[in-house]
């Protein structure tokens, strides 16, 4: 599991560790990890040009000590100090190692760089995890002076909201973020996560409590995916029912069934428009008609009948996946376990807010909806969020931009429904289904475009490729 902790959790863990270590040892450990990450990015040391943007706090100290390590390895290191004070020990260490230090005051008095002297990488040590969103004028001017140069962020990109993943003003966009001790919420949750680039973790040996946000890894998914018992049969493996599609939107029914019929449960039943049912049977001859189920998938392409489909499915008393058109008929908590699968626009309508507000604060709104509807909320996006009324929020980090294609959400709904029918609790079904969906898209894409049906077709191969559970 990749865990992301809050600033307060990290501060408390760091304080406990520093009390047991010699003074400055933790900063030196972090700086060494940062320096070697920069060297890996550069590919070599001697003569390479590194610029440090240094704020007044310990984040700047990390950058300065890392700069000293780089300078001793042969890099040409310069630091621009963006505040009246900087970490004294770090400044002294950099100068002693042969690095240069200059006070940056912004144009027109900014330190001059010629084309030959321009840095090859910039280290963002402006603001640490204790900073608030947005950057001061001096920092913005410094970043503009080195526009186009790859940036390595220290802990988090300066200017992002660390505990929420939100953005409030000017901020750093990093090619690489080197973080210490644990991941932070901003590394996983958009829109801030999109500003982090690749994220590299330097272990500091912190003793941390349960995380506020987490992301499944392949081993976690392998442990959670339901697998048939030695004497399993189709009914014991679970039966999922699909009430999706209509004469106007037959593809939604076909793709929802495709997601459900990936082999993760024992049987799929389709109940809906007669013409759609005929097409479903042609594409998926193993799918049958009405009967008893352990979970329902409702809503996608349901049009005017989505409300009735939701009500009929809820009467069975089994868990539900509620998607697309059926979401508009969810007024409050349902009487059965439910996974709601909105995109930002649908969630905005459910909560009575603007879509832009949901996109700016997805973590906040996913948690709000989970509490209001007493359900698991799967908020679809680049990094999909799965929130429940209690426990951490799970973030899906699998997937590729090609997954933004028509029908992909229908496949996801069917996939989550199959996992519900197979016995997973709603929270696990939603987060495992989302992870498999993204991983299948990555496999099917292989770097190129895909359509939704190909995502469904790749799910079995993804499951086969999961690590052994031992």
| Residue set of the binding site for AMP | 380-384, 409
385-387 vs 376-379, strand pairing mode:
antiparallel
* Rg of the chain in Å (alpha carbons): 25
Measuring CA to CA, which residue among 312, 314, 309 is closest to residue 324? 309
Contact present, 384 and 396 (Cβ < 8 Å): yes
**Residue list, annotated binding site for K(+):** 59, 124, 158
- Lookup: tokens for 135: 């950057």
DSSP 163: T
Q: 263-279: buried (b, 16+ CB within 10 Å) or exposed (e) per residue? A: ebbbbbbbbbbeebbeb
**Residue list, annotated binding site for (6S)-NADPHX:** 58-62, 128-134, 155, 252, 301, 343, 410
Handedness of CA 349, 352, 354, 359 (dihedral sign): negative
Half-sphere exposure of 311 (CA within 13 A, CB side): 8
String of DSSP letters for 177-245: EEEESSEEHHHHSTTGGGGS-EEEEEP--------SEEE--HHHHHHHS----TT--TTTT-EEEEE--
Measuring CA to CA, which residue among 85, 98, 94, 21 is closest to residue 58? 85
- Lookup: tokens for 84: 């009246």
d(CA 105, CA 417): 58
Beta-carbon neighbour count of residue 120 at 10 Å?
16
**Residue list, annotated binding site:** 58-62, 124, 128-134, 155, 158, 252, 301, 343, 380-384, 409-410
């Amino acid at each position: 599991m990749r865990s992301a902790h809050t600033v307060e959790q990290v501060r408390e863990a760091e304080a406990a560790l520093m009390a047991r270590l010699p003074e400055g040892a933790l900063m030196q450990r972090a700086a060494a990890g940062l320096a070697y990450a920069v060297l890996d990015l550069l590919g070599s040391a001697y003569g390479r040009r590194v610029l440090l943007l240094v704020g007044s706090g310990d984040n700047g100290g990390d950058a300065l000590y890392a700069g000293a390590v780089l300078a001793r390895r042969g890099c040409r290191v310069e630091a621009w100090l963006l505040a009246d004070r900087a970490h004294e020990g770090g400044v002294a260490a950099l100068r002693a190692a042969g690095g240069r230090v200059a006070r940056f005051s912004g144009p027109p008095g900014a330190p001059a760089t010629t084309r030959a002297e321009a840095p090859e990488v910039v280290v963002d040590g402006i603001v640490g995890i204790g900073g608030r969103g947005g950057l001061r004028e001096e920092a913005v001017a410094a970043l503009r002076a080195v526009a186009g140069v790859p940036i390595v962020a220290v802990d988090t990109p300066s200017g992002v909201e660390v505990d929420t993943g939100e953005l409030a003003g000017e901020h750093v966009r990093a090619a690489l973020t080197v973080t210490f001790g644990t991941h932070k919420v901003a590394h996983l949750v958009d829109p801030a996560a999109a500003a982090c680039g690749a994220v590299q973790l330097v272990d500091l040996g912190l003793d941390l409590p349960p995380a506020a946000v987490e992301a499944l890894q392949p081993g976690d998914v392998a442990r959670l995916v339901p697998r048939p018992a030695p004497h399993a049969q189709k009914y014991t493996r679970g039966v999922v029912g699909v009430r999706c599609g209509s004469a106007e939107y037959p593809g939604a029914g076909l793709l929802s069934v495709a997601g459900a019929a990936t082999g993760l449960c024992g049987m799929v039943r389709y109940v809906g428009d007669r013409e759609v049912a005929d097409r479903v049977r042609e594409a998926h001859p193993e799918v049958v008609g009405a009967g008893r189920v352990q979970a329902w998938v409702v809503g996608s392409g349901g049009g005017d009948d989505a409300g009735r489909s939701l009500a009929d499915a809820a009467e069975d008393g089994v868990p539900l996946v509620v998607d697309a058109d059926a979401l508009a008929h969810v007024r409050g908590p349902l009487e059965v376990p439910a996974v709601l699968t909105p995109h930002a626009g649908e969630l905005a309508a459910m909560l009575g807010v603007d879509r832009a507000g949901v996109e700016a604060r997805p973590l906040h709104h996913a948690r709000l909806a989970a509490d209001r509807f007493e359900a698991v909320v799967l908020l679809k996006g680049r990094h999909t969020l799965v929130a429940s009324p209690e426990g951490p929020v799970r973030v899906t980090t699998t997937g590729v931009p090609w997954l933004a294609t028509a029908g992909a959400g229908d496949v996801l709904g069917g996939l989550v429904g199959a996992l519900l029918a197979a016995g997973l609790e709603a929270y696990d079904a939603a987060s495992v289904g989302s992870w498999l969906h993204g991983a299948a898209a990555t496999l099917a894409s292989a770097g190129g475009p895909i359509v939704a049906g190909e995502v469904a077709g790749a799910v079995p191969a993804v499951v086969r490729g999961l690590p052994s559970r031992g």
